[in-house]
């Protein structure tokens, strides 16, 4: 290729790097993993911590996490080798909603939840997009909340609640767009159904 911006058709063109022919997978792999706490959302870790790759056992296909969950959070994590889908699911332009269940210290007042609904400014000065927060249960100076956001900034949910002085004690992602965690046990994984794949791709216009 000598012209910037040249395009190739992978179904009819041969694409080589250093003389090695690249081949498209005959079928993409889509994995839903219930990430436990104390597992790193990477395929390898120089510090020797447990990674999501550890949980995938003998899976032969090389897949990569779509976005990330921090070390202390659990829940739904999608892994795939479908680069187009992964890019769109993580790009802010597509605004794919993500839902969490958060246990926070203290019981947030209605005014604090309204601040989150309007979009709150974080300690570092950045402003979050509006979040949909609903109280599921409140007792013993703790609250369980359902949190829905359309962004995916680093540790965004935790930073939002730090900003209203109700730090997150536990955080679990339960939904990514149309994809639900359901009753999948912690540490377990499964392949997506064809219907789930179609719904995800439709959500990002593929």
| Token duo for residue 185 | 């046990």
CATH of 22-92+178-203, one of 3.30.420.340, 3.10.105.10, 3.30.70.580, 3.90.1150.10: 3.30.70.580
pTM score of the predicted model? 0.84
pLDDT at 6: 74
Q: What is the mean pLDDT of residues 36-49?
A: 92
| Token duo for residue 109 | 């007042």
Q: Tell me if domain 22-92+178-203 and domain 97-176 are identical in fold.
A: yes
DSSP label of 93: G
Write the CB contacts of 21 (distance below 8 Å, at least 6 apart in sequence).
14, 15
CB 31 within 8 A of CB 190: yes
Residues with a known catalytic role:
70
Round to whole Å and give the CA distance between 192 and 154. Answer: 26
pLDDT for 95-139, tens place per residue?
A: 899 999 999 999 999 999 999 999 999 888 889 889 999 999 999
CB 107 within 8 A of CB 101: no
Q: Name the residue ranges covered by the structural domains of the chain.
A: 22-92+178-203, 97-176
Q: Is 114 left (phi over 0), alpha (psi -120 to 50) or beta?
A: alpha
| Token duo for residue 15 | 């694409």
| Token duo for residue 16 | 């080589």
Domain 97-176 has what CATH class?
A: alpha beta
């Amino acid at each position: 290729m000598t012209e910037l911006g040249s395009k190739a058709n992978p179904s009819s063109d041969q694409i080589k790097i250093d003389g090695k022919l690249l081949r498209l997978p005959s079928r993409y792999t889509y994995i839903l993993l219930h990430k436990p706490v104390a597992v790193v959302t990477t395929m390898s870790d120089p510090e020797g911590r447990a990674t999501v790759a550890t949980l995938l056992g003998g899976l032969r296909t090389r897949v990569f996490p779509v976005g990330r969950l921090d070390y202390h959070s659990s829940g739904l994590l999608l892994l795939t080798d479908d680069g187009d889908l992964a890019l769109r699911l993580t790009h802010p332009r597509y605004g794919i909603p993500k839902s969490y269940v958060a246990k926070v210290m203290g019981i947030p007042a209605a005014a604090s939840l309204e601040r989150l609904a309007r979009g709150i400014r974080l300690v570092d000065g950045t402003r979050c997009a509006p979040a949909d927060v609903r109280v599921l249960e409140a007792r013993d100076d703790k609250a369980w909340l359902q949190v829905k956001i359309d962004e995916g900034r680093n540790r965004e949910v935790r930073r939002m609640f730090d900003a209203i002085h109700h730090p997150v004690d536990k955080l679990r992602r339960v939904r990514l767009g149309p994809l639900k965690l359901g009753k999948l046990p912690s540490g377990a994984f499964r392949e997506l159904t064809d219907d789930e794949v179609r719904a995800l791709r439709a959500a990002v216009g593929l």
